[in-house]
Structure 1
Amino acid sequence: MSDGHSTYVPKTRVGRWFDARLPLPRLVHDSFIVYPVPRNLNYAYTFGGILTMMLVSQIVTGVVLAMHYAADTTQAFNSVEKIMRDVNSGWLLRYLHSNGASFFFIAVYTHISRGLYYGSYKAPRELLWVLGCTNLLLMMATAFMGYVLPWGQMSFWGATVIINFFTAIPLVGDWIHQLLLGGFAVDNPTLNRFFALHYLMPFMLVGVVALHIWALHVVGQNNPTGIDVKSETDVVDFTPHATVKDAFGAVIFLIVFTYFVFYMPNYLGHPDNYAPADPLKTPAHIVPEWYFLPFYAILRAITFNVGPIDSKLGGVLAMFGAIAVLFFVPWLDTSKVRSAVYRPWYKRLFWLFVANAIFLGWLGSKPAEGWFVPAMQISTLYYFAFFLVVMPLLGLIEKPRRLPGSITEAVLEKNKLDSDHDRETWDSPRP
């Protein structure tokens, strides 16, 4: 177990020569083998490794797909079909990449939810959280650019709707609008820009992910109790304790992922996107991919003017604000207790927030009419209230449960409760 000094000892002459010049094996040993992690980590903490795995998968499949893709409005749709039919294993690469985007977001939303539940954003992990939010922003931009590339009906009209919203932003809106369009309407220059950005952004994401992992290794891993490590008994070596758990979590995740790839490859897509883009035929209901639907609902929830801010600008500000507010979470939460395990009211309101986010996603798939509009507005109100009202006020008035003295004490208490429960179950009379 590492105590701050490297315990790596090269065993061969070549290893010693290499270590003296480029200590890469030492870095791997210290960061992923003897690195100390809290002994009470659960499977919610495996999603960091799953996200790294999915990022590698998306980059590898994306690079190969780019070799066969034609970024031209007259050829883009047919080039995707050619990949599916004529390129060796092209169908598999395409389905791995398209479904991989959805599962990437499933993993990142779970990862963020775990951070909110266990207070992983609290000091000294504020910068770690901010870097994670930056990763989310880059992911969303990359996914939006990629959604346009197949040049189907929903790709074209989704790009048209979202790009036009930038015109509502004062001063820089028209400039961003023209930069993305490259002309007077969504056309070939737009597709070329989106393809270039979609190819570039994953490598930017790799850089921020590296900083995120570096920051994690500097401040250390949080844990379900939210208690700092106080002694060597509170931690275990990363390998094999965490690696085995991460590997098992990754295998289960991959089983579900590959089930969708092989048996339901088009389930998470939109049927309109399997028709070529037609600027003269507007789809009945324009919607983005499912992972953008909560933010799309927030965008459409603002149907009223607020002073000089009209509804269009208000919707854009609300949509971007829903992401921006995440960056300030470390300073919005005033509670001195990290984990929701010991915060009874925060736990209830957190799960209400999760249910509300899922409900927003469902509302985003519906037309902005009838009772859906007030439902979007109420759900949007609670989304922002959770961060701007619940977090600041609840930390001042909530009475948390008693915290264990250490991580080890929490583990022993849990083991004792589990043992007592098993004994009661065993001793109970049987019919």
Structure 2
Amino acid sequence: MGSQYSFDHPDPHNAFITICHEAEYGEGPLSGIPVAVKDNISTAGIETTCGSNILKGYIPPYDAHVITLLRSAGAAIVGKTNMDEFGMGTTTETSAFGPTLNPADTTRAPGGSSGGSAAAVASGMVHMALGTDTGGSIRCPASFCGIVGLKPTYGRVSRYGLIAYANSMEQIGPLAGNVRDCALLYSVIAGHDPRDGTSLDLPAPAPLKPEIAGKRIGVPAEFFGEGVDPTVASVVQSGIDRLEGLGAEIISCSMPSMQYALAAYYVTSMSEASSNLGRYDGVRFGMAPDFVRLWHDAYSHIRKTGFGEEVRRRILLGSFALSAGYKGKYYAKAQAARQMVRNDFARLFETVDMLAGPTMPCVALPLGETSNPLSMYLADILTVPANLAGVPALSVPCGTAHTLPVGLQLIGKHGAEDEILSAALAFEEGSA
């Protein structure tokens, strides 16, 4: 038996859905360190809801691979964090368990969909947390809450035990208060898993050290285009100037496929969500059916009452994009646009080591401001390209705008997490 960690913090920001007040921990690199886990990652014996009524009361019979790794490293898993329902949102306001508040300003959203994990770290409740990132869901709340968040290369961290939203893009990744803690958690969860058919067999993460001198950093003009708050842009540009002052070579460049990235992402992710969420029918997963009803009536009732408005919207849009007569017009074109994004990254990485720009086009949004779904979708414009291409991307705090945190995003080559983490550490510590 391991030791017991007593977790008795108040939760004024509604960061958690489930708190484990007595968490067991063992020996290892994370021994006794409290770690929070996003509520779409399976934890044996601990309720896992995905922030949805349809999974309320569901207790997985097994641990996700990342949870097995956390336990082996000695971590104390202290609870499951709040999130946008099934990861569908940018503010952690679509949760069936109420919105999470941003510790930097409780009138603001923490970002999403891993907002609970980010708020738990930013408020000091935990040292580090796991989130997931399908289109920016780690980097967005990291930026809005003023912490560090890493979306690894697609396949670098096992998705076994992750409850799917959009399989071809989502990744589990770390959030922490500083780059060293983020890198430590990443080093624990990264690695090959034969149970995940998309898992990559790559060398173990290298020891972290600050390294930025001589690195060629590309800055695409499109990252500072229409829709980016000028004050945010100015803060991020100052951060890029700091990188240059530390010895990096800054190279202006262009990424024309940015104009197609957001549409390609949403058509693809909603289509995959429509397929993935078909299993929530009250028979395989979800609330028990009302057998007084005919089957198709029960199915419709369960999904209408179990899913929130945003999830239902994305299922309908995804089903439409995949329907007969429309798949070629929408889904197929989205895949072509996705390839254009991949090609742009490949071209740019022939001449630069990494890319830099704002993580988000704005600071944390006021609670309730994203009642218009289109405005919520548009906020993802700078984060979705990395998911479409499967490359690693990291958000590190670089200052404040309108008194709120701003994140600098570093995007690396395929499998180059070590490189962007080293650059982020140099930036954070001010050393080359």
Report the TM-score range of the alignment, normalised by the length of the smaller protein. Answer: under 0.3
Scaled by the length of structure 1, what TM-score is found?
0.26
Query: Which protein is richer in helix relative to its size?
Result: 1
Q: Which has the larger radius of gyration?
A: 1
Query: Which protein is richer in strand relative to its size?
Result: 2
Scaled by the length of structure 2, what TM-score is found?
0.26
